[in-house]
Structure 1
Amino acid sequence: MLKADIVLSDLAHSVEWRDGAIFFGGSHIRPYPHPALETLLVRTRGQWFAIVRERSAAIVPIGAESRDVDAEEFGRLYRECMLWPLDYAMVEAAQAGHRLKLRAGALGAAPVYCRAGEDRVVVSWDIADFAGEPSAIDMEIASRRLALRSAYSARQLCVGTMQLTERASLYVEPGKASYRYPSPSEAPEAAPLPADRDALAEFERRLHRVASARPFASARISAELSGGMDSATVAAALAALHGRIASVGILLDGDTRDAQIARRKSIVGRLGLDDATVEIAEYPPSLDLRPQPGQIAGFYWEYYLEACAASWISARSRGGDALFTGIGGDELFPAYADEITQTTPERGDGAEAYAERLLTPRASSAARGLSGFDAPASPVPATSLLAQACRAPYALRHGLWPVNPLADPGLVAFCHRLPREHRQERELMRRYLHAHLGEGVFPRGYVKETFAHVLPALIARHAGAIAAQLRDCALADLGIVDRKAVLALLDSVAATPTPGSVAALAMFLWMERFARQLS
């Protein structure tokens, strides 16, 4: 949501809003320039704070504003900002002692990353801003990622760079920096609905309230539409609120293609969407391990960016600057431990076993011993936060502000507490879609769209080139993987791929490219 380069001694200077940024001495804070955001700078004697936050449809927007206030008003505005209903990033400064605090909101929609030195702090939503700084890969975090044990954490792949996770704070003063996680959220428990409350009506009310929480005109909205239940739910809510909106999506090849196209056609027709698609075959993911000029990989594994970027460009070309996604849908209706029976099918593809074979003994030990670094339980499920962190920097680079209604804390809390009959097999979401699309679009057991076939075919086609590039293996040189084990897995995937072996190899290929980028 913002970028900043702050020398702590500059906090002694007066602070001012000028030309779309905040300046003090030689330091600056630059909000991400987008109509979805507003900036408030509040000053009082000896201290100030600046907040970049999502605009709320329920509160009169301020655009960009600076205020000089007394201590009482300063405290009132500070409390108001802390309770802001949407996402935000906040910088607080005390001139005495040159002290600084960075704080994040609860949604985690577009996280920022921080690097603190003796007398300087660099903050950015874009890892590319750290690319010119000397850095090394964090061996323990890399090992855990390669073992497919990714977690939501302040600690990141580059040594010395941390993510400001949801509700967390970074305190900085000369020669000292400390990071504080928030208190963990309470674990939800299922409970019966009151007799006078209808589950479907309440779900629709809450979903539509979340979808309309930001003051977007219909012409500015684009909805990602894969053809699955999550994205269709978001599109249906937006169409109910705005009428005709734009939708974008990626058409896949393989066994699910015909079903995906038919389902998308039904959704687009019934909701009256202005739809545009891109073909995955025209924008396949790159397996080239060499860092490409001008292409800086983020801190999280994200393939298929080539096709996503093409769809985002399409959205921008039609005037959209707000990208609504279905992120969070997978986590909206969980099954709890006491609800899982022996007849419940277990999910698992052996991916962790394949990944473990790649690691050196030292890396394997590191991968198993880092759980204490994870962020605490949050109002937004950690897997949703990770998905948002994967994609947000790339969407922002294309001028699109990401909105993920199904990851809203209030909607999550409501759905997590529903009785089992509403959560099982996403029953409540299915009923919502039946009401808005008809019962034929998402019948039980429908064939879901999947990217599963994309990478195996590409890896088989380019296995020789990948093996040639792995004559020099950065992760092997770092003592994290065994090069022979990597080549053996590459041969296995090229000959007889399985979902688990492909997942393990794909994570390695991404991490190898990332490690080469640092070197």
Structure 2
Amino acid sequence: MIKLRIHPRDIAGPWTWTGRQWQAGTSWIEPYTHPAVEVLGPDDTSPAMIIRERCPTLTGQPHHVGWPGDFIAIQPSNGTMWIEAGVRGVAPLYLIVTDTVLYGSWDVADLAPSLRHAALNEHEVVRQLSTTFRYTHDTLWQGLHWLTERSQAVFGAHGLGMRYPLPAAHGRPRELTAGADPVAAYEQLLDLALSRRVYDPATTAVELSGGLDSANIAASLGAAHPGQITAAAMIIVGAAGVQQQDRRRQMIDLFRLGPDVTTKMIDNLPLRPDGRRASRALITPYDELYDEGKTTLLGLLHSRGVRTVATGIGGDEMVALTAAELSRAPLGIDPLDLPWTGPHSRDLRGGFDTGTAPASIVNEVTLLATACVAPPILRAGMWPIHPLADPALIRFGEWLPYSWRYLKRLHVARLERVGCGPYLVDPPLRENFEPVMDEALHRHGAAFLRAMLDRGSPLIDDGYLNPDELAAAATRIADGTPAPGDNSVCNVIALEAALSSFGHAESPTPVPA
């Protein structure tokens, strides 16, 4: 939502608004320019500079901590600058101090000059390699901090301090009253969440993958704006991709959506030679694994004048089962037990929860996802909205009985009510990106791994990875005979590509225990 450069001597101001930035001396704070974003202050009533999402029903209202959109509040006080994040985490903010100056951005790539020689955070390295992500101020680099929801950053002559908020309270499942209609309540809350966002339906796209979450958003947007909302998707490979296209066509007609914009993943495979990772162009460790396809799709949307992208992020977490309701742990391979895992990674197995944030209002997994998808959307000149991550819908989901959350019954029932049959809510073929990644690894991944092994990597030097086992995995993948779990090597490739692009040549320094 913002980018900034603040020198300690400029904190006291005065801060002057130029129409694009607040400026004081050599320091500046630049909000993201978009119709969905507004700026307030400082003025006679408050020294704070506020960057927030517009809310159509609260136009012109003063700012407050319960503002129903995302926001960043920045306020000088007694020689220090306080920066506070809102609840929603629509756009991340990363902060780092270099030569006593504070730099910040929603895009880690902007901070590359400060990171080229920064030491790595060993706990975050293992989280990245094993996809055991945690919501935390920590990032892959020591000294680079993520301002998580409701957190505060305090900057001054003595450096940068980070403060977590108190844990958020959450609800528990309840029993429905006689005659209650959860689907009708769901529709009303979803419409309310959309009404609080600023968007022009003629320049709005919905990410309609064909899944339950995005389909519910598309159904609401289509009902509110018939024929105007653009549908967008990355089309997966094989027979499941043919099915996905057919189901999407039916949904577009049923929901009364407008134009359909797609990109085929077979033409935009991860690690393709002209992609950012394969060409060793600058790419962050927080960019999506499917960056090639997403970037192509966003480019197509941009060329059509799209300014707002609605997603289904948060739908899984909204109706998730509680730990007590899960009968067993999810099945799968522990990434730290894969053969290419090095001894240092295994030694750090117990450090996954080091420094994590307290309970958030929006689910931590949702916040991790929104932070991942925002930068490419913002780079393309668009603003993301995530209606299923609205706190009111989250609370509603927490209150629902088990039967309405099990197998996402609420999302299914709502789609059935608007006319979706079994083919649309429970298709015969499973639609996901696993075959896309399998194809990408077979075509391009083995060569990438071999190049990595030839030139060396700090991830190998410091024992995070086992080079012999990586070489064996590369051979299996190239031969088309991968072992179970071999597709997880994509996490290794993504991290290595990011480190290479940022120019890391030295080994990471372990974080003190």
Per the normalisation by structure 2, the TM-score is: 0.91
Q: Deviations over 1:86-115 (max 9, x none)?
A: 101121112x3x211111111111111001
8 A contact 1:287–1:509 mirrored in 2: no
Match of 2:507 in 1: none
Q: Where does residue 119 of structure 1 map in the other structure? A: 100
Q: 2:51, 2:177 → 1: CA distance?
A: 39
Aligned counterpart for 1:282 among listed residues 241, 262, 267: 267
- The answer as to 2:157 corresponding to 1:174 is yes
1:53 aligned residue: 52
Equivalents in 2 of 1:83, 1:122: separation in Å?
A: 27
1:330 matched to 2:312: no
- Equivalent-residue separation in structure 2 for 1:118 and 1:132 (angstroms): 12
2:209 paired residue among 213, 217, 226: 226
How large is the RMSD of aligned CA atoms in angstroms? 2.3
1:57-456 pair list within 5 angstroms: 57-60=56-59, 77=62, 80-94=63-77, 96=78, 98-117=79-98, 119-133=100-114, 134-195=117-178, 197-244=180-227, 245-273=229-257, 274-286=259-271, 295-300=281-286, 302-341=288-327, 347-355=330-338, 357-444=339-426, 446-456=428-438
Distance 1:102 1:200 in 2: 39
Q: Is the 8 A contact 2:154 2:162 kept in 1?
A: yes
Deviations 1:386-408 (A, max 9, x none): 11111111111001111111111
CA contact (8 A) 1:156 1:299 kept: no
Check whether the contact 1:143–1:359 (CA below 8 A) recurs between aligned residues.
no
Q: 1:196 to 1:82 in 2, by over 3 A?
A: same
Larger deviation, residues 251-260 vs 333-342: 333-342
Contact 2:49 2:74 in 1 (8 A): yes
Further displaced range: 103-112 or 240-249: 240-249
Correspondence for 2:455 among 452, 472, 475: 472
Is there any run of 5+ residues in structure 1 with no aligned partner, and where? 63-76
- Unmatched tracts of structure 2, length 5 or more: 505-513
Q: Kindly report structure 1 stretches of 4+ aligned residues shifted beyond 6 Å.
A: none
Partners of 2:151 and 2:165 within 8 A in 1: yes
Distance 1:215 1:300 in 2: 27
Matching residue's letter, 1:86: G
Provide the aligned length of Structure 1 versus Structure 2: 495
Say if 2:35 and 2:198, in contact at 8 Å, map to a contact too.
no
Contact 1:233 1:433 in 2 (8 A): yes
Deviation at 1:307, TM superposition (A): 1.1
- Tell me the SS of whatever aligns to 1:48: coil
Instruction: Say whether 1:496 aligns with 2:496.
Output: no
Q: CA deviation at 1:141?
A: 1.2
Q: CA deviation at 1:340?
A: 3.3
**What's the counterpart of residue 71 of structure 1?**
none
Q: Distance in 2 between matches of 1:263 and 1:512?
A: 37
Corresponding letter in the other structure for 2:72: A
Structure 1 pair 192–498 and aligned structure 2 pair: CA distance change class (3 A)? farther
Report the secondary structure of 2:58's partner residue.
coil
The residue number in structure 2 matching 1:23 is 23
Shift of 1:195: 3.3
Q: In the alignment, residue 336 of structure 1 is paired with which amino acid?
A: T
8 A Cα contact 2:168 2:360, kept in partner? yes
Q: Is the 2:281–2:501 contact (alpha carbons within 8 Å) kept by the matching residues of 1?
A: no
Distance 1:280 1:226 in 2: 12
Contact 2:51–2:72 at 8 Å: present in 1 too?
yes
Residues in 2 aligned to 1:449 and 1:331: alpha-carbon distance in whole angstroms: 19
C-alpha deviation, 1:295, in angstroms:
4.0
Kindly provide the CA deviation profile for residues 458-515 of structure 1, in whole angstroms up to 9, marking residues without a partner as x: 2223324531342123221344222222222323344433563212x01000111112
AA aligned to 1:124 is S
Residues 137 and 146, structure 2, Cα contact 8 Å, conserved in 1: yes
Compared CA separation, residues 161 and 275, structure 1 to 2 (3 A):
same
In the other structure, the counterpart of 1:14 is 14
* Mapped partners of 2:8, 2:358: distance in 1: 29
Residues in 1 aligned to 2:315 and 2:69: alpha-carbon distance in whole angstroms: 19
The percent of aligned pairs where both chains have the same amino acid is 29
* Distance change in 2, residues 1:163/1:338 (3 Å): closer
C-alpha distance 499-153 of structure 1, shift in aligned 2 (>3 A): farther
Q: CA deviation at 1:138?
A: 2.1
Q: Match of 1:516?
A: 500
Compared with structure 1, are the counterparts of its residues 350 and 445 closer, same or farther at alpha carbon in structure 2 (3 Å cutoff)?
Answer: same
Q: Please say which of residues 286-295 and 331-340 is displaced more in the overlay.
A: 286-295
Residues 254-273 of structure 1, C-alpha deviations (whole Å, 9 max, x = no match): 23122211210110111222
- Per the alignment, do residues 242 and 445 of structure 1 end up closer, same or farther by CA in structure 2, a change over 3 Å counting? closer
How far the C-alpha of 1:411 sits from its partner, in A, is: 0.5
C-alpha distance in structure 2 between counterparts of 1:13 and 1:443, whole Å: 56
Q: What do the CA deviations read for 1:157-215 (whole angstroms, capped 9, x no partner)?
A: 12210111111111122113321111122343110133363211111100111122113
The separation in 2 between residues aligned to 1:403 and 1:199, in whole angstroms, is 23
| 1:254/1:420 CA distance change after superposition, 3 Å | same
